[in-house]
Amino acid sequence: MFNWTEKPVSTLAGGAVIAPDERLPWLQTGAMGIQHVIAMFGATVLAPILMGFNPNIAILMSGIGTLIFFLVTGGKVPSYLGSSFAFIGVVIAATGYAGKGPNPNIAVALGGIVACGVIYILIGAIVQAVGTGWIERFMPPVVTGAVVAVIGLNLASVPVKNMAASNFDSWMQAVTFLCVGLVAVFTRGMLQRLLILVGLILATVVYAVLTNILGMGKPVDLSGIANAAWFGMPTFTAPVFTTNAMLLIAPVAIILVAENLGHLKAVTAMTGRNLDPYIGRAFIGDGIATVVSGAAGGTGVTTYAENIGVMAATRIYSTAVFVVAAVIALVLGFSPKFGALIQAIPLPVMGGVSIVVFGLIAIAGAKIWVDNRVDFSQNKNLIVAAITLIIGTADFTLKFGDFALGGIGTATFGAIILYALLGRARNA
């Protein structure tokens, strides 16, 4: 099934666009890897916190998962694997998590996550054997574009509502995304390619001046960094398999398929490389990574739209960058000091960066429509996209007994079902 003799990154390049099988000089590749770690960090840590999981385990598993994905896809698909938000609602429902502190029933959720990963692997194996035609009939570009856009739009309220406790914080979010925008437009070369990282640093400096020196807000506190150990072993948790939890959590595999397919289509559109032959392998790699993560105490993982947003802005698609990012995540998973460093980044600054990244995700979804020339004069396409965007953005939730399907889930299944139903009409 897999050709382990492939050479995924074989060409040293320095043009305006860096292809998946090309790489920058290692120093620049390392800098880009750091930027991808920063881009994924907020969501990868936020998701486990919302479910009561250990963030250090989540970071560690994101690195391991990304390396697994790199190996299974032969290094041909530029993607980072991080904590999936699609699991939040079902994990909370399965465990009865109260929303604060460690989740006392995490083991039960882990059993469901492992089961989800197994189903995901089976879907990938079928795709690898018979192709993607059957999936693409259910999830054409109008559906995948809507699902990708919804992921960004659904997360939009997180920085706006949860990362700005005061008027000053809101202004600092504005300063942050302005810094990123200025770097993106008015710089050139590596500075421009590191727009997220450089913008974050600039905004943090501005924040420190306004708070630590001028006393306008909560000052930057570096004491946690000084007191934290450089290295420490995270606490692993073994899964417990119960029928109820598995029935609740395992169906998330369908959402992961839609997410992954949408992400791959977005990367295909950006790179001009046909990634269809690798879709089955991508599903299998993501599924194996989810099983490994769940078996160790981590969240389910998925290809990360945040990192696709960074690729869209930088036009660097080298898979070597993601290997570097994965290795950095591995090291950071064992470093309480790094966790303290990230915690020291002012919340409004992280919120401003999140606004940029989530916005780039939404635009990546729209780009799928444009690149595939989705015809919105057809009512079926218009209705599918319109309803999907609204129910996903508004976090429309449907409950089936103890099972709750949140915004991303209802948008995903809704888009698939709507397209299947409306597509039957002759004059759709």
DSSP state letters, 276-307 = GGGHHHHHHHHHHHHHHHHHHTPPPEEE-HHH
Convert the pLDDT of each residue in 353-403 to its tens digit: 878 877 877 887 888 888 888 999 899 999 999 999 999 888 888 887 766
Residue 401, both tokens: 């007994």
Given a cut of 80, whether residue 74 has pLDDT beyond it is: yes
176 versus 85: which is more confidently predicted? 176
- Residue 148, helix vs strand vs coil: helix
255 versus 54: which is more confidently predicted? 54
Question: Percent of the chain having pLDDT more than 90?
Answer: 22
Q: What pLDDT sits at residue 190?
A: 61
Q: What pLDDT sits at residue 4?
A: 42
Span 104-127, average pLDDT: 94
CA angle 365, 371, 372 (to 5 degrees): 95
Q: What pLDDT sits at residue 363?
A: 85
The answer to whether 410 and 392 are in contact (CB under 8 A) is yes
Longest dimension (CA), the chain: 67
Given a cut of 60, whether residue 31 has pLDDT beyond it is: yes
Given a cut of 80, whether residue 180 has pLDDT beyond it is: yes
Given a cut of 90, whether residue 345 has pLDDT beyond it is: no
Q: What pLDDT sits at residue 12?
A: 54
Q: What pLDDT sits at residue 273?
A: 78
Span 278-303, average pLDDT: 93
How far, in Å, CA of 144 to CA of 123, rounded?
A: 17
Lowest-confidence region among 150-154, 190-194, 375-379, 410-414:
190-194
Of the pLDDT bands very low, low, confident and very high (cuts 50, 70, 90), residue 124 is: very high
Lowest-confidence region among 6-15, 47-56, 285-294:
6-15
Of the pLDDT bands very low, low, confident and very high (cuts 50, 70, 90), residue 5 is: very low
Given a cut of 80, whether residue 46 has pLDDT beyond it is: no
Residue 412, both tokens: 């995903």
Given a cut of 60, whether residue 7 has pLDDT beyond it is: no
Nearest to 353 by CA among 204, 196, 209, 198: 196
How far, in Å, CA of 385 to CA of 419, rounded?
A: 9
Residue 71, both tokens: 């190996």
Nearest to 290 by CA among 69, 9, 11: 69
| Dihedral in degrees, nearest 10, Cα atoms 239, 230, 330, 107 | 10
Residue 106, both tokens: 């995490």
Convert the pLDDT of each residue in 211-230 to its tens digit: 888 888 888 888 888 888 88
Residue 104, both tokens: 């006392």
Given a cut of 80, whether residue 109 has pLDDT beyond it is: yes
Q: What pLDDT sits at residue 206?
A: 93
- Residue 143, helix vs strand vs coil: helix
The answer to whether 5 and 256 are in contact (CB under 8 A) is no
Q: What pLDDT sits at residue 42?
A: 65
Q: Give me the amino acid identity at 66.
A: T
Average pLDDT, the chain: 82
- Residue 53, helix vs strand vs coil: coil
How far, in Å, CA of 388 to CA of 418, rounded?
A: 9
Q: What pLDDT sits at residue 240?
A: 92
Range ranked top by mean pLDDT from 12-16, 42-46, 286-290: 286-290
Q: Which residue has the tokens 């486990």?
A: 48
Half-sphere exposure (Cβ direction) of 177: Cα atoms closer than 13 Å? 18
Residue 413, both tokens: 């299944």
